[in-house]
Amino acid sequence: MSFCGLKLGAIKQNLTALSGGDWCRALAVAGLVLYAVCVLVSNPAGQSTAFLNSLIFRRHGRYLYTNTDITDLVFGIATSASTWKTRRNYIEGWWRPNITRGFVFFDVPPKEYLPWSSISPPYRVSENVSRFQEFNKHAMPFAIRMVRVIKETFLEAPKGVKWYVMADDDTVLFLDNLVEILSKYDHNEYYYIGCNSEAVGSNADHSFQMAFGGAGYALSYPLAKALARNLDECIKRYPNLYGSDHILQACISDLGVSLTLEPGFHQIDLHGDISGFLSAHPHSPIISLHHLDYTNPLYPAMNVFQSLKLFMNVSRVDSSRLLQQSICYQKKNNWTFSISWGYSALIYEDILPPSHLERPLQTFVPWRNNYRAPAFMFNTRYPTNNPCEAPHFFFLDSVEQKTGGYEIVTNYVRKWDRRLPACSKTGNHSADSLSRIRVISPAKRYDGGEGKRRECCDIVRIYGGSDITEIKLRSCMEDEIIA
């Protein structure tokens, strides 16, 4: 008799001392282990390895569950025939044809865009919601259609979906980071995952417990199923709520579920130059960006979509480090370097502590002009002409993988002169001569985020007689003090 032909009775004899519930759980786990061994014995080595790689179990409450991958997600995106011409550029920047699953939902049939592009998500036309008018005099009637995209996505989705991700048509998503974040949570439980607005006023007007829809949010399968069953009746209960995301939050709260905050979702309720915000990103993987029509292009001297293309290209090289901040010092000249990987590199002509540099430089303005202080959900630093506190700004120019594939090099170049004297209190060591910063990082995903430290960095060299500085990222040593 082969090993795989052994009966589970032999295992059962060793489990008789367990209580009924414990015995069942132990028997189930033993069965899975036996099945895995059978696959190893009876399949070619390559197939067995692939199978075992898929069986990565995590303990969460009373469940053992496998890792999430991109095929476990379905996306529902609300759009309209009037906005698709420009908004498709955002969606096609992150959508992966034949890999990602989901739909864009139009208000009317998109006849002017047929035949439909193969690089866009499949489209559907939303159900007519005029029947809601008799009980809902909503200030934004299209909000009803938008919130019902959740139900329509659930009804259209194939079987086996773990997560339903909702976003606007001008939302940019970073899929590998999204999958990594969702893998932390048990999709068998009720989860509503997203983030609130960067603007205090927006949260106060709607809800601090609401995931803003432009930033996007994720619903676990049981929660999406419960919402689909109850959504239309819930809409009737809240005729006075303004936005689709606020209606949704109320309906989810009715089901006894609260928001799980993930700071990588970004509504971007900010205007103007958001480089200060992106150069001091929260210590969490970036998951989304929204409202890029209302901000300056991400990189200087480009238009919105040129800069977005560069940003997405660098994210494909290493999305795990994108915007992650590393801080290091060149003590000889009293310089501080703050690297926002894949985006910017800042030099200060003084030794500034990490607690200071983690606060975004307020290069942006609030979403509304009539805001009440405090304006933002985070502390900021005001721009200054003090030469010891005003940074030299460098922005990403290129990214390359070095020969051998073990390292990635990102190059940052100065886009404008600082036009300030040197910092006199630290010895007048001006950084004006530097025009390029090379950052070398490992060619492997950065295991950052919750419970992890930022990466440390070293000034490898400042080339003598040259205008180039080279910096290398590395894991921090035990008990290492960055400053």
Mean residue pLDDT across the chain: 86
pLDDT at 14 over 90: no
* Residue 34 confidence class, pLDDT cut points 50, 70, 90: low
* pLDDT score recorded for residue 130: 78
Residue written as tokens 């999305």? 319
- What average pLDDT score do residues 153-173 get? 96
* pLDDT score recorded for residue 368: 80
Instruction: Using alpha carbons, select from 211, 221, 154 the residue that is nearest to residue 185.
Output: 221
> What stretch of H or E contains 288?
strand 288-289
* pLDDT score recorded for residue 462: 74
Can you spell out the DSSP letters for 372-433? -SS-BSS--B-----TTTSPEEEEEEEEEEPTTSSEEEEEEEE-S-------GGGT----TT
Structure tokens at 355: 């607690």
CB 169 within 8 A of CB 209: no
3-state secondary structure at position 2? coil
CB 19 within 8 A of CB 27: no
pLDDT at 256 over 70: yes
**Which DSSP category does 27 fall into?**
H
Can you spell out the DSSP letters for 110-173? -GGGPSPPTTSPPEEEPPP-GGGTTT---SSTHHHHHHTHHHHHHHHSPTT--EEEEEETT-EE
* Residue 447 confidence class, pLDDT cut points 50, 70, 90: confident
- What average pLDDT score do residues 153-175 get? 96
Instruction: Using alpha carbons, select from 435, 437, 445, 446 the residue that is nearest to residue 471.
Output: 437
Domain residue spans of the chain: 3-55, 70-261, 325-474
pLDDT at 100 over 90: yes
Q: Cα dist. 72→58, 69, 150 in Å?
A: 17, 6, 16
322 exposed, middle or buried (CB, 10 Å; 0-12, 13-18, 19+)?
A: buried
The model carries a pTM of 0.85
Measured over the CA atoms of residue 144, residue 147, residue 151 and residue 156, the dihedral's sign is positive
The pLDDT > 90 percentage for the chain reads 71
pLDDT at 89 over 90: yes
- What is the number of residues in the chain? 483
- CA gap 250, 266 in Å, rounded: 21
* pLDDT score recorded for residue 31: 54
- CA gap 389, 25 in Å, rounded: 60
pLDDT at 479 over 90: no
- CA gap 73, 325 in Å, rounded: 29
Kindly report the number of other CB atoms within 10 A of residue 219's CB atom: 29
Instruction: Using alpha carbons, select from 254, 237, 247, 239 the residue that is nearest to residue 210.
Output: 247
- CA gap 174, 32 in Å, rounded: 33
**Bond into 115 cis (ω within 30):** yes
pLDDT at 36 over 90: no
Instruction: Using alpha carbons, select from 123, 111, 143 the residue that is nearest to residue 214.
Output: 143
Measured over the CA atoms of residue 321, residue 332, residue 478 and residue 358, the dihedral's sign is negative
pLDDT at 120 over 70: yes
- CA gap 246, 240 in Å, rounded: 10
- CA gap 179, 68 in Å, rounded: 6
* pLDDT score recorded for residue 180: 94
* pLDDT score recorded for residue 13: 44
CATH code, 70-261: 3.90.550.50
pLDDT at 181 over 60: yes
Q: Cα dist. 95→101, 119, 122, 175, 478 in Å?
A: 9, 8, 11, 9, 40
pLDDT at 223 over 90: yes
* pLDDT score recorded for residue 55: 42
* pLDDT score recorded for residue 7: 40
Angle, CA 209 vertex, CA 63 and CA 199 arms, to 5°: 130
- CA gap 71, 203 in Å, rounded: 33
CB 191 within 8 A of CB 60: no
